[in-house]
């Protein structure tokens, strides 16, 4: 595939078929999504815990882990971070972690973040415990000494049971945030094998260069 950076920026989302020796390579294609992001290597440090999570195991307690997804402009979602698994514990305290501010919210404090709690299973078929949504702006409240927490909701349980309240509480214990700067990020999303590649491109440089893959 070959295209110019100008084409990507102007269209914001560009899809093209993959070529092999000048011909299309089957049904394979690449979608390039352009988003404006903060441009430095600053990171945010986050620390989560939970309490009273649903028990999904018969002979022991759930083995929970947390996934955080960023919602993109085209309504797709991108995995930002996956915590470690805390075995046999309904009140887990996951290790603190650092994540790029770019990866977390693309420099947009109001961008939606989807968070899912799973019960880990060795066969890879993890059990859904619940989910909640937030924003980086809301998470920043933990910097001011306020307790930031969310109800972990299982939509199926909520729809079926009138007495249902939640599947646990997720708590943000720590949020340390640095400052921002801006660049352009291109997300290359090959359809073939579900691989995602990011290219960070300084907007003030190489504007007329071509992107080849």
Let me know: does 92 contact 170? Beta carbons within 8 Å. Answer: no
**pLDDT tens string 46-81:** 999 999 999 987 778 999 999 999 998 888 899 999
DSSP state, residue 143: G
Q: Which domains does the chain have, with CATH numbers?
A: 1-36 (no CATH), 43-176 (2.60.40.150)
Looking at residue 180, its pLDDT comes to 46
Distance of alpha carbon 29 from alpha carbon 194, whole angstroms: 11
pLDDT classification of 204: cutoffs 50, 70, 90: very low
Let me know: does 137 contact 101? Beta carbons within 8 Å. Answer: no
Distance of alpha carbon 210 from alpha carbon 88, whole angstroms: 51
């Amino acid at each position: 595939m070959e295209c110019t950076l100008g084409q990507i920026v102007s269209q914001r989302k560009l899809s093209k078929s993959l070529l092999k020796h000048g011909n299309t390579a089957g049904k394979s294609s690449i979608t390039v999504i352009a988003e404006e992001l903060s441009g430095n290597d600053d990171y945010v440090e986050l620390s989560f815990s939970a309490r009273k999570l649903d028990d999904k195991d018969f002979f022991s307690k759930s083995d929970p882990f947390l996934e955080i997804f960023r919602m993109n402009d085209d309504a797709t979602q991108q995995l930002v971070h996956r915590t470690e698994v805390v075995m046999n514990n309904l009140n887990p305290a996951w290790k603190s972690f650092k994540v790029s501010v770019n990866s977390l919210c693309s420099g947009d404090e109001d961008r939606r973040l989807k968070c899912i709690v799973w019960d880990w299973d060795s066969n890879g078929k993890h059990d859904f415990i619940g989910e909640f949504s937030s924003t980086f702006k809301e998470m920043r409240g933990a910097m001011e000494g306020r307790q930031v927490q969310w109800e972990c909701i299982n939509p199926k349980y909520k729809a079926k049971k009138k007495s249902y309240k939640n599947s646990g509480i997720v708590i943000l214990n720590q949020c340390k945030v640095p400052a921002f700067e801006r660049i352009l990020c291109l997300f290359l999303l090959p359809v073939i094998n579900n691989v995602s590649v990011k290219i960070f491109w300084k907007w003030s440089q190489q504007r007329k260069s071509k992107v080849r893959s």
